[in-house]
Structure formats: C-alpha cells, structure tokens
Structure 1
C-alpha cells in the first residue's frame, strides 16, 4: 500500500495579511524540502480569528482576487505536492464562509470545503464565540482524490460530528484532515479526544493542524497539531508553539487494523441502517414517490444503505409496535403500505360538478428495480422546510430529520400512509 510523508504546519498568525501569506509560503517550502508530499495548514491562517476580521480579510476564491490561494496553487505546482490549505475567510456574493481549498500537484484547485458546522459556544466566564454572526454554513461534505490517496475534509468544529467522518470512511477515505483552532477551554478537554475517537471509529488516519498559540490574541488557540493512526494511537504531535511536524503515513496499516478488529463487518444491519443523505440526494430522480429516499423500494434503499453510512438520520429497526398506538401488535411486514398519493389520484376538491372525471392513477416505481414504490414507508410533513428528509423502510422507525435551510428548529411529524 501507499506510503508518504505529511507535514503539519502550525503557524503563527498576525494581523498583517501579506506577512501571513509569506510566512505560510516559507513553511510550505521548508516542509517540501524535507520530503513532505502532503502539507496541511491551520484554520484561518491568513487572518486573525475574529468576527471583526473575517469580512476584512475575506477573499473571492473563485476569482483572480485571492492572493492566499494563488500562493497555494503556485507552490503545489512548482513543488509537485498536494496542499490542504487550512482555511481562510471566503467571500461569495454577500456571504462569508470558512473555507478550505485543496490543490493538487498540477496546481489546480481539486476541492473546496466550506465549514459545515459553525462554531457557536457560550460558557459564561470562560468562552463565548459565535461564528454564525458573520459566517454561513457550508452544505456539502467534501471528499477528494489526490496523489496521496482519498481524503475527507472537515474544519475544526466539524470534527465533533462523528456522522461526517463515517460518511467519509464509507466513501473510501484513507485520511481525514481537520484544520482547526480549538481554544483554551475546549482544547485541553476535547482536541486530542475527538481526533483519536474519529480515527478509532473509522479505522483510518486523522490529521489536524492548529494555529500556534498567541496569548495576546482575542482568541487564543490551543495548538497541538497531531497525526493519529487507524487504531486511535498518537503518531506525532507538537505543543502550542510554532512548528512544522513531519511524519509518515502507511495506508497498509489501515487494512491491518481492520483485520485485527473487524467491527466494520460486524454492524447489525438488522437493527439499524446507515444512510448517506447527501449521496442519496445527489442521485435523485424525477419519479414520483418518496423522493427523499431516491424513490427507491425497500430492497434497493437497503442495498444503498448497506454500502453507505449515516449522517443526520438515526433509524431504529425491529420494534413490534406502531408509534400510532401502544396496543398495536402488527409487525411491519404485516402492514400494507400504499404509494404516496399524487395530485392525479384525486378529483378537484373544490368542484361540485357532477361531470368531474377521476384521472387514472399513476403508478410510482422504484428508480432502481422499477417495482412499485410505496414500500419506502412514510412521509414526513415538515412546516417551512426545504431540507432533505430521509425515511427508512426497514421495520418501525424512529427518525431524526435535518434542520431547515433557514436554520430554524424543524417541526415535523410522521404520517403513516394507508
């Protein structure tokens, strides 16, 4: 299997943007000179980490107005390396994002990850910060194929969400990279813990890179950039000062550890299903039915789920009782479900005309096997939500849906189809 060197560049960050860019250039060149083929930069390395600074330092990444990404592109091409460019404030229209750019050895932008989970914390007397005051959350998990393997990208707070890491593992990632700036409150408690947990959960490598600690800054970073192996072991780490940490990654260790402890093969698919919502939505068809489940029948959806993993949906399977009635004893296999009714199934409700003629019923079919759809089970009625919703067919369901795009609490209820 593939072996290579990774460099974690824990950089000091100042209020001088040009100086930050020049300093990052020096660190990348030094790391590449020591044999690093993959270089990871910190979160928000070209700007102070503050809501006041984000709008001032933000760059339009998709234009020729980004000196930070221009430098990364130039170096990745000239040094023939892959660079995961930490993150910088990105301006897109009237919105700001916390964005990580990945550049291949040809200098081209291979991927762009916008921080999915914004960091909002309020611990009175210790730490209060709300990224959501200025930043917009990203909408897409990011996995990228590079010269050094398949890599899943997250930014700082994203590491707290095990579902995102599990999606990346199910899609074949070898390595998860999280540029991050944990603080002096959460850092000592959670930074190493979360890195080791994600690596052990998914049995792959996890690399993190923090800014160096500046005690005079309004936001003081914890530091401790780290590489964790697929058994949850710390391979290399540093303290809080500026440093370049270089270590070797050997992907054969992933297969070895998964053979040592094969829990990935021991999942109980009869008790729960793991569903990648983004993958399902990216392959949606226009066939009427349960569009949230890709208009799939129970068999096809289960096959998709078996090769995927969970994100925002939790499913419990095997209950003998219906949520409608505590006295119901019918199993799910005995319940006869019908396809979702379409507008063509019904007469016009406001028409009293005796001439109204019913329209022939449309048959909804599975987008996979073309069987009649409806066995996907349930529809969730959600007020004021344009978020994707997954409803899983196997057994009785306890489902948790995504939040609406306007970030208000989602109000929904399960409606059984008859």
Structure 2
C-alpha cells in the first residue's frame, strides 16, 4: 500500500505552511497514495510563544484544520497531520496534538503528546515545552487502511513503556512525527526509531521537520520509514520534499512468525531487589 511522507521546513505563517501541505496532499492523491503523513508542528513553528500564540486557536476554531479536513474528502485520501498546536480544552495551556483524518474528511483520532521536551543540551539549546503545553494522558490507537496505528510524537520515542503498551495492543503501524534537534538527531534518531520498529514488529513512520526555520531553530530531518524487521526503507535526508513508499503490510505477519515476541511476552512486575 502506497503512502506519502512530507518532510517540511515549517515557518511562522500557518497559511503558507497549510498551502505547502495542500499541494503535497494533492500530489499524494494523484500518485495513488492511501495516506499522507506530515511532521510535528506542521502548521506552525515559532519558539517566540507570544508571537506564535496569535495563530493558535481551539481545535474547533482552527481554520487550518478545517481546510485540511476538506482536502481529505476532496482528494479521497487519509491524512496524518503530524501534529498541530491547539488551545487545550482546559483553557490554560496548549496541546501538541496529532490528528488523523479519514478520506471522508472526518477526524478519526486525536493524540496529545504525552512526554514534554524539557531539556538543556550541551550545545546551549534549552527547551521547556511544559511551560506552554499540557501533556496527554494516554496512548491512542486507531484503525486505518494500513491496520491498527499507534500514535506518538517526537520526544515520546525515548519512553519504551509507551511502545510496550502499543505492542501489547497489537499495532501494525507506529507514527512518530517529529521536529528533532540536530545534536540529538545525529546521536539517536535512527537508533531509536529502528528499536521501536524491532521491539513492536511494526512499521514506524516518522515524518520530520528539517533545515533552518524562520524562528532560527534548526531541525534534523531524515524522515524515516522503518519496516518490522528494523530495515530503513526510506530516509529523506536533510532537505524538504515529498516521498512515496510502498508498504508491504504482509511482512508484519512474516516477521512476527519468525520471532514471536508477541506470543512470548510475559507480564513484568517491579524487580526483586536482591541483597
């Protein structure tokens, strides 16, 4: 089954970003793709939170989301919007939210990023996602034409318990839209994504932001698709673009038959502390 992966360098203007997505969605549908995948913060990247906040609304009032859901039905294609910033329903903070849209234009699933990026890097970069965003409360999986899809975002990939929960649920696909920093990307991106695919024996689809953004940040790129054996079947490098990949969904069962980790899995309790 063919999918499209959109590697972007999103900027300060949601209208410009959504227009780029609209062109990519139309091209994906024309190429016969069943699904289009965008990166984290596809509709807006701005680390000046005061400036960026003027473009962020509640999900129900998002013009960008309305335009994108209309494109799904117009082009008869499923959309994974990566993630978009919305005002959280509690009204106090924002949510970094994945939205999956069916080819009928209806929202099929929402997932709010659970693990927030609060870190000081050796490069001097400092990030405090939790100062503006509320973390999600639970994993979310959704039935799609590709099978059961487990949703996660960027920094989530460092927390194996989340992916153990998805593996136990029998997901076929894990999505990890991202805006990875360059130092952490160079060190860990490929290793972590291959590990998530191998341990769950699922496809991993990770559309990413890349390059130098209008707000001055630089992201790693290298949007990846990894198969259930851990083989990288797509690596988009460090420039923006649109790529098409044929997923051999039959390989999921083949890999699980070769190494039956799902059948052999045992419930794990807290360790016995010897001595």
TM-score (normalizing by structure 2): 0.93
Q: Which segments of 5 or more consecutive residues in structure 1 lack a partner in the other structure?
A: 275-313, 327-418
The runs of at least 4 aligned residues of structure 1 exceeding 3 Å deviation read none
2:34 is aligned, of 4, 21, 37, to 37
Q: Is the 8 A contact 2:11 2:214 kept in 1?
A: no
> Which residue in the other structure is 1:227 paired with?
225
2:204 is aligned, of 203, 206, 210, to 206
1:59 is displaced (CA, Å) by 2.3
Instruction: Considering fraction of residues, name the structure with more helix.
Output: 2
Instruction: Considering fraction of residues, name the structure with more strand.
Output: 2
1:179 is aligned, of 177, 185, 198, to 177
Q: CA distance change for structure 1 residues 216 and 109 in 2, over 3 Å: closer, same or farther?
A: closer
> Which residue in the other structure is 1:81 paired with?
77
Q: CA distance change for structure 1 residues 78 and 215 in 2, over 3 Å: closer, same or farther?
A: closer
Which secondary structure state, in structure 2, belongs to the residue aligned with residue 250 of structure 1? coil
> Which residue in the other structure is 1:345 paired with?
none
Per-residue deviation, residues 32-86 of structure 1 (Å, max 9, x unmatched): 111111111011111124152552332211x2x2112112211111122111111
Is 1:96 equivalent to 2:94 in the alignment? yes
1:262-281 alignment to 2 at 5 Å?
262-267=260-265, 269=266, 273-274=267-268
RMSD, matched Cα = 1.8
Is 1:316 equivalent to 2:253 in the alignment? no
> Which residue in the other structure is 2:65 paired with?
69
Measure the CA separation in 2 of the matches of 1:196 and 1:223: 16
Which secondary structure state, in structure 2, belongs to the residue aligned with residue 186 of structure 1? helix
1:215 is displaced (CA, Å) by 6.2
Structure possessing the higher relative contact order (Cα contacts under 8 Å, 6 or more residues apart): 2
Q: Is the 8 A contact 2:168 2:262 kept in 1?
A: no
Measure the CA separation in 1 of the matches of 2:4 and 2:161: 26
Measure the CA separation in 1 of the matches of 2:26 and 2:176: 21
1:3-402 alignment to 2 at 5 Å?
4-50=1-47, 52=49, 53-61=51-59, 63=60, 65-92=61-88, 93-214=91-212, 217-267=215-265, 269=266, 273-274=267-268, 314-316=269-271
Q: Is the 8 A contact 1:54 1:134 kept in 2?
A: no
Which secondary structure state, in structure 1, belongs to the residue aligned with residue 72 of structure 2? helix
TM-score (normalizing by structure 1): 0.62
Q: Is the 8 A contact 1:51 1:131 kept in 2?
A: no
Aligned length: 272
